Amino acid sequence: MFGQPKNRTLAAILALSGVLIPISGLHKFYLGQPGWGLLYLLLSWTPIPKVASAIEAVWYLAQDEEQFDRKFNMGNSSGNSLGGSRQASVVPQTMESIAETLRQLDKLRLEGLVSEYEFEQKRRQLLDRIG
């Protein structure tokens, strides 16, 4: 569950469950935010996490898939079904954009404006978006 892409419908269902059952914050643990999840659990005896959970459930559903993925899946697609995941298909324009960004990043590295470490981290992030 934790290594796989997050699904916004499941996140919304977990958030709504925090409104209906005495335990709130399950959606925060699912989305990889254990600190917030623990805070919601500790405040479960008050109405605060229930109201916050209801608002977040609506917010998750109001976002389109791309916005949700950008926030909770580091830009990778999570798929439409509850249990399944689909491979992120990279459109040629996106691939070209990533390639151009890598070229510019390499140029900054060669000019000494970006360290080798920073370059490698950003390069890996960009390549992870492709495959």
Contact indicator for 19, 50 with CB cutoff of 8 Å:
yes
The residues, ordered by sequence, that sit 6+ positions from 22 with a Cβ below 8 Å of its Cβ are 44
DSSP assignment, residue 82? S
Tokens of 49: 């996490």
Task: Please name the helix (run of DSSP H) or strand (run of DSSP E) that holds residue 31, with its range, or none.
Answer: none
Q: What is the pLDDT of residues 76-117, one digit of tens each?
A: 654 444 444 444 455 666 777 788 888 888 888 898 887 888
CA distance 125 to 120: 9
The Cβ of residue 34 has, within 10 Å, a number of other Cβ atoms equal to: 11
The answer to whether 30 and 1 have CB atoms below 8 angstroms apart is yes
Q: What is the pLDDT of residues 38-81, one digit of tens each?
A: 998 899 888 888 898 889 888 888 888 888 888 888 766 544 44
- pTM value? 0.54
